[in-house]
Amino acid sequence: MGNIKIFGPILNGVLAFPIFLAVLSDMANAGYPTPVEADWIAHDFVFHTGEVFPSLRIHYTTVGKSSGLPVLLLHGTYGSGKNFLSATFADLLFGPGQPLDAETYFIIMPDGLGCGGSSKPSDGLRTSFPRYNYLDMVNAQHLLVTEGLGIKHLRLILGNSMGGMHTWLWGVTFPDTMDALVPQASQPTAMASRNWMLRRMQVEMVIQDPAYMGGNYTVQPPSLKLANVFFGIATSGGTLAWQAMAPTSELADKLVDARLAGAGPADANDWAYQWTSSKDYNPSAGNGLERITVPVLAINSADDERNPPESGLEAAALQRVKNARLFLIPASVDTRGHGTTGNATFWKNQLATFLLSLPTSGGLYK
Ligand SMILES: *[C@@H]1O[C@H](CO)[C@@H](O)[C@H](O)[C@H]1NC(C)=O
Ligand SMILES: *[C@@H]1O[C@H](CO)[C@@H](O)[C@H](O)[C@H]1NC(C)=O
């Protein structure tokens, strides 16, 4: 979190509060309260495989007072709750007068099961760790919220990418536990097509690498960084933005070189488990979508490589949701394909309007 403490106030300060820069420099994060991290243990957690984990650790970060209106934010694959503490997210949303003002809201950002500081294969079990899926991850989040934090009802669940898919699963699995849903960079339809094929391929590239040693590697297999960079370029960034940034092979090489020079994922088993856990995602199965009655604001980018709107899948699925609407961010050189929604500039006004349109709470959150 060191970087955030340094960059948050400076970025926001220059734009909005130049006079208070010095004063704010020791106050956390662009004028919102200092994030607090903690662990909660779920005892005898049951995976969908039937395996029982005696002590499942769920790491989480919160911003704001626990008496505030509870909001759950769900991160993307190979991320953690702290991803939201960025210049393009928290600095645009959590401050005074901003849409998720931490004076009003209690913001809860869990690390998904298998991710960040939560229990994961690299803790020691490696490939003996249960093969979790998205429903296991959502069940763990639900236990954290209800048992760990004693919250009966959430004002809002907002998630991006994998977190967007988790948001849809909350809607179909626990439809009475929130006032509203904002799934981003996701579809409420089966994991399939190129999205799954490329997930499968990048995992195959790593687990078929002799250096992976069936999961018993002592150093990370070299294929891990290569596969991760390959998938990132193929499925995020935006067609128009890549063309604008890399109009020649030399400029394209520079972008590739920069990515290859960066740090790869920390652990091959954690990484492979996370991508594989999306395989059976399908909130549209049965009458799942019909169970969602709370207002839904789905936010996708028109150039999302993993959720291409031209498939028509999302539009058709949303017809089944009682009170849903889609904000489709038009593609431009400014959008970043699947990565677009990570920058709240593109949708914070729509979120603010949506939150104002929600019926006021009955105060039954705790
Ligand atoms: C990895 O190590 C574990 C524990 O020593 C062992 O049981 C397992 O067979 C090994 N797997 C492979 C593929 O070598
Ligand atoms: C976020 O999006 C806005 C609007 O396109 C852009 O001006 C800004 O540079 C973006 N921020 C980052 C860090 O990419």
Q: Domain limits at 351?
A: 5-189+280-357
57 and 117 co-located in one domain: yes
Ligand 1 centroid vs 216 CA: distance in angstroms? 6
- The reply to whether ligand 1 has any atom less than 6 angstroms from the CB of 67 is no
Nearest CA residue ID for atom 2, ligand 2:
345
Give the β-pairing of 105-110 and 69-74.
parallel
- Distance from C-alpha of 68 to C-alpha of 115, rounded to nearest angstrom: 26
pLDDT tens sequence across 89-129:
999 999 999 999 999 999 999 999 999 999 999 999 999 99
Question: For residue 345, how far is its CA from the centre of ligand 2 (angstroms)?
Answer: 7
* Total count of domains within the chain: 2
Residue 251 lies in a domain: yes
Same domain? For 350 and 303 the reply is yes
Cα–Cα distance for residue pair 301/185, rounded to 1 Å: 7
Please work out whether the CB of residue 216 comes within 6 Å of at least one atom of ligand 1: yes
Q: What is the CATH number of the domain that holds 251?
A: 1.10.1740
Q: Are 173 and 138 in contact (CB under 8 A)?
A: yes
Tell me the H-state helices in 50-126.
Answer: 90-93
On whether both 145 and 70 belong to a single domain, the answer is: yes
pLDDT value, residue 331: 98
Closest ligand to residue 216's CA:
1
**What residues contact residue 308 under an 8 Å CB cut-off, 6+ apart?**
none
Spatial contact of 186 and 168, defined as CB atoms under 8 Å apart: yes
Task: Based on the fold, state whether residues 270 and 301 are members of the same structural domain.
Answer: no
Confidence (pLDDT) at 363: 58
Q: Is the dihedral of CA 260, 262, 266, 270 positive or negative?
A: negative
The CATH number covering residue 337 comes to 3.40.50.1820
154 is a domain residue: yes
Task: Verify whether ligand 2 is closer than 6 Å to residue 88 (CB atom).
Answer: yes
Are 265 and 225 within 8 A, CB to CB? yes
Residues 288 and 335 in one domain: yes
Give yes or no for residue 214 CB within 6 A of ligand 1. Answer: yes
Q: What is the mean pLDDT, run by run of 10 residues, along the chain of 366 residues? A: 29 30 42 97 98 98 97 98 98 98 98 98 98 98 98 97 98 97 98 98 98 98 98 98 98 98 97 98 97 97 98 97 98 98 98 95 70
Per residue in 252-298, pLDDT (tens digit) is: 999 999 999 999 999 999 999 999 999 999 999 999 999 999 999 99
Q: Is the CB of 124 under 6 A from ligand 1?
A: no
- The verdict on the CB of residue 348 being under 6 Å from ligand 2 is no
Residue in 267, 270, 271 with CA at minimum distance from that of residue 220: 267
Q: Is the CA virtual torsion 328, 331, 335, 340 positive or negative? A: positive
Question: What is the per-residue pLDDT for 346?
Answer: 98
Query: Is this structure's pTM higher than 0.95?
Result: no
Q: Whose CA is nearest to atom 6 of ligand 1?
A: 216
Domain assignment of residue 366, yes or no: no
Residue finishing a domain among 229, 245, 275: 275
Instruction: Say if residue 180 is in the same domain as residue 198.
Output: no
**Judgement on whether residues 348 and 228 belong to the same structural domain of the protein:** no
Q: Whose CA is nearest to atom 5 of ligand 1?
A: 216
CB 301 within 8 A of CB 338: yes
Strands (E), the chain: 36-46, 52-63, 69-74, 105-110, 156-160, 181-184, 296-301, 324-329
pLDDT at 330: 98
95 and 221 fall within a common domain: no
Q: How far is the CA of 127 from the centre of ligand 1 (A)?
A: 9
Q: 3-state DSSP: the chain helix, strand, coil percent, rounded to 5? A: 45, 15, 40
Residue with CA closest to ligand 1 atom 11:
214
